[in-house]
Amino acid sequence: MAIYIDSAEPEEVREALSLGFVKGVTTNPLLIARTGRKPEEVVAAISELWPDELLYQPFSLELERAREELERMRTIAGAILVPKIPATWEGFKLLVDLVRADWRCALTAVYSPSQALLAKEAGASYVIPYVNRATRQGIDGLELVAQISRTLQGSGVQVIAASLKSAEEALAAVASGAQHITVPWPVLRAMAEHPLSLEAVEEFARAAQSYKEGR
């Protein structure tokens, strides 16, 4: 099992990787656009932090332009760059093209087990179902993870559950069969902390203070 941080903010990525057990980074055009920086700058800043993998989604989906964009990003990031290709007709063509050229790829924005099955046939290394987005559209996102996990069982293609909006949802995605999860910064924090843990720590701190004052 690996945990990825879903972010294009180098400071968040730095802090997450400093934990030591966050393996990599996933990002997408929306997250990069929100930073106000060029994709090349974001990729350079993140790859300097040495994640094991940087799953990068190209801005262009047109075959030649996407290939050129990904080659450019690989020049910057090196072997950690893993293309993350959206599950569309054009996306599948791009995925096959990249796999033939020996890239390790992920199929992303997955909403059905049939897309996962085709990803396996196309040679993808990862399939990325969007849990919360699916649930918001009336598809049970956790059941989607379970169905995809069953579809891919024994194939070597790994499931990274994404679009996770709470610690509970992240945990449920793993319980539903996801090998890996990618979580945004607030969810990573929520997984690490609990209000009652903080309350207990404050109580201990107050006790330690009055102990010191009483000596």
Interface residues with ligand E4P (CB under 6 A) are 6, 26, 28, 108, 128, 130, 132-133, 162-163, 182
CB of 62 to ligand E4P, least distance (A): 21
Residue 89: how many CB atoms within 10 A of its CB?
7
Nearest to ligand E4P of 33, 205 (CB atom): 33
Return the number of the residue (176 or 182) whose C-beta is nearest ligand E4P. 182
User: Is 38 labeled as catalytic in the residue annotation?
Assistant: no
Closest CA to 131 of 30, 40, 6: 6
* Shortest distance in whole angstroms from residue 30 CB to ligand E4P: 6
Instruction: State in angstroms the smallest separation of the CB of 98 from ligand E4P.
Output: 17
User: Which helix (H) or strand (E) covers residue 109, if one does?
Assistant: strand 106-110
Burial of 154 per CB tally in 10 Å (0-12, 13-18, 19+): exposed
Identified catalytic residue from 38, 84, 165, 212: 84
Q: Show the tokens assigned to 58.
A: 């190209």
Binning the chain into helix, strand and coil, the percentages to the nearest 5 are 55, 20, 25
Chain CA centroid to CA 132, Å: 13
Nearest residue (CB) to ligand E4P, 72 versus 133: 133
Q: How far is the CB of 136 from ligand E4P (least distance, A)?
A: 9
- Of the two residues 47 and 108, which places its CB atom closer to ligand E4P in the complex? 108
User: Mind telling me the catalytic residues?
Assistant: 84
